[in-house]
Structures are given as structure tokens and as C-alpha cells.
Amino acid sequence: MSQNVVVIGGGPAGIEASRRLRDLGYTPILVEKQPVLGGHLARWDRLFPDGVEARTVLGPMLQDLDGIKYFTDTEISSINRLKDTWVVMLSNGLSAQVRAILLTTGFDLFKAEKKEEYGYGIYERVITNADLEDWFKAGAAPQFDHVHTIGFVHCVGSRDEKAGNRQCSKVCCVTAVKQACEFKEKYPDVTVYCFYMDLRMFGRKFEDLYLKAQKDYGIRFVRGRVSEVSEDLDGHLFVKAEDTLFGKPMKIKMDLLVLMAGMAPAAGTSDLARMTNISVGDDGFFVPSSIVDAPCSSSREGIFFAGTATGPKTIPETLSEAAAAAMAIDRYLKTPAKR
């Protein structure tokens, strides 16, 4: 009988690692707390930088789950060390005794309502990047029909000591530019602003997308962080920022504001860390044993990571890390257990 490996979190990282482990001859037990597999990828419409449809990435992954035992709507009740194994109890009453556990619990979208000065949850016309993906996915959105001016606010709940998230979430600059272009494509007459502090277009073809946004779509980039948002009686938004390159404060009337909510640690991170006796960083994400050359190993034997559970990453980065984690687990399991 093939050896079991427990994989916690059924997003891109967990699914991809499970497929790889299966291909290496193991039986992955994939545990997902939500009713469906797919993680955040299941919520996105089109992906940066080329606009590939998210379902064309996730679909084939979900078609290829033979040999993987997966449980949705299921959480981890407890994890205990027993000699050189881990005993994992699931909320559905099942349990597994394994030598290796892979943590692929991903991230939580930053709760934008925490930044009260931006008015998410207070003003109807303030939405998040994830809400906009929902709307793109749904196709028609009557809310957009009378929109003249729309703004994208970068770094919402990222790079923000007050919000308790100091890190850069990495994917939101390019997501903002992607969404700005998509919006302009659907509604060419709309004026689109991006309010940024730094534009982090780090990946291949990201800079091209930025160039296209400027040249072909006429997106107006303003270097200044939005400081506050208010609403008038007609429901228009007034957005305050400083145009730091010009050196003057400004107040712009908008019909819609999209907050680029960043990546925060997944809610269960600290519970799982406590159960397995591993550490989380001061940013709240799991800490790998080396951020340079051992991103998938933890400080404890038999506990591994992949994907955004150890910090913001793109999908291709997440998928390669999932493959690397499967290799690391395979190597570990082929080494005889120390007594």
C-alpha cells in the first residue's frame, strides 16, 4: 500500500502538490475547509499579465484528482507527534498517521473594512479587487453603466503599519493595472486612475502591461496614496490624495473606487503552527527554514510548506513551489526515519 501524506489547504498549491505526490507514488489526503477546491484561483476571472482565463488553469487541475483522497468542508481538529509520525484528526471524524504533512493554507484577502477611511462596507461605490473579479465573472454589471470616473487604490492593507501588515502583497500592482485595462476595454469612455506609491511590475511582461495601460488605454497614473474617501448626498465619492510628483494635494470626484486589498495570513495559520510546534513570522505567515534555498521545509521534521502560506506569491510561483515541495517530501520519506 502506498504511503499517505496529509496536505492541508486545497488551493492551487495544495492541488498541484497532491498531483505531484500522487505521480511520485504516494496517496495524498487533501483537506479543504471550504465546500469546493481551488482556493482564490476559483474566484478570479482572468489572470495577469495576458488575461488567460482562470478556469482554463483550474479546470484541468480539478479534472485530474484520481488517486488523491480529498475532503472538502473539512478542517483539522488536532495534530500530534507520535514517535516519528504525525497523527492528524479531521473534523469529519477520520484520522491519518503520516510521516509528512504539507501546509498549503494560502492567504486571506485583507479585510478592506478595517481601513475605515476608505469606506468599504459604508459607501456602496467602494468595492475591492475581489468584488470586481466577481463582477467581471458575472459578465454584465448594471452598477457600471453610469460610471464616468473610476479609481484604483493600491496598497490597501499592505505596506501599512497601521493595518498591521507591513509587507508588500506583490500581486496587487499588476492586478490593478490588469483590472484597469479590462475596465477600459469594456467601457472605453470611462476615465481610469491608479493611485500608487511604487509600481511593482516585477514579473515577465508586467512592464509591458504597464506600458499598454499608459499608451493604449490612457490610464492615468497618480503617484500618491489615497488618504481618505468621503461621499456626497448623490452617492458620488470624493477621493483625497497628494499628487506627489506635482506636489499638490487633490480631491477627485469618482463614481467607483476599487480597493486593491492585499494578502494577509490565512486565519488558521497560528492554530496550525501551535499544533505542529512551528513558528510564524512577525508578518503572520509561516517561516521556512531558509527563504533562499529551502522555501518548502520547516524547522520541524516532516512539516513542509508550499504557496502563499509562506508569503505573497503569484500562481506560477505557487505551482513551482508545490512541485518543489513534493520533491522535498519524497526525498524526506526515502530517508530512513531517525529513532
Ligand X SMILES: Cc1cc2nc3c(=O)[nH]c(=O)nc-3n(C[C@H](O)[C@H](O)[C@H](O)COP(=O)(O)OP(=O)(O)OC[C@H]3O[C@@H](n4cnc5c(N)ncnc54)[C@H](O)[C@@H]3O)c2cc1C
Q: Where do contacts with ligand X occur on this chain (CB under 6 A)?
A: 8-14, 31-34, 39-41, 44, 47-48, 75-76, 104-107, 109, 129-130, 171, 175, 263, 266, 268, 307-309, 313-316, 318
Q: Which CB sits closer to ligand SF4, 81 or 240?
A: 240
Q: CB–CB of 46/75 below 8 Å?
A: no
Report 109-128 residues binding another protein (CB under 8 A). 117
- Per this entry, what is the length of the chain? 339
Residue 260 interacting with another protein (CB under 8 A): no
Residue listed under C-alpha cell 490588469: 178
Residue 336 makes CB contacts below 8 A (sequence gap 6+) with none
User: Which phi and psi angles does 182 have, rounded to 5°?
Assistant: -60, -40
Indicate the residue among 167 and 310 with the shorter CB distance to another protein: 167
Point out which residues bind ligand SF4 (CB under 6 A).
154-155, 158-159, 168-170, 172-173, 198, 200, 260, 262
H-run or E-run covering 16: helix 12-23
CB 264 within 8 A of CB 245: no
The strand pair at 263-265 and 256-261 is best described as: unpaired
160 binds, among another protein, ligand X, ligand SF4, none (CB under 5 to 8 A by kind): another protein
Return the one option of ligand SF4, ligand X, another protein, none that residue 88 interacts with (CB less than 5 to 8 A, by type).
none
Which residue, 174, 194, 159, is CA-closest to 264?
159
C-alpha distance across the termini of the chain, in Å: 23
Per-residue contact track with another protein, 171 to 210, x per CB under 8 A? --------------------------xx------------
Which residues bind to another protein, rule: CB under 8 A?
117, 155, 159-162, 197-198, 223-228, 240-244, 247, 249-250
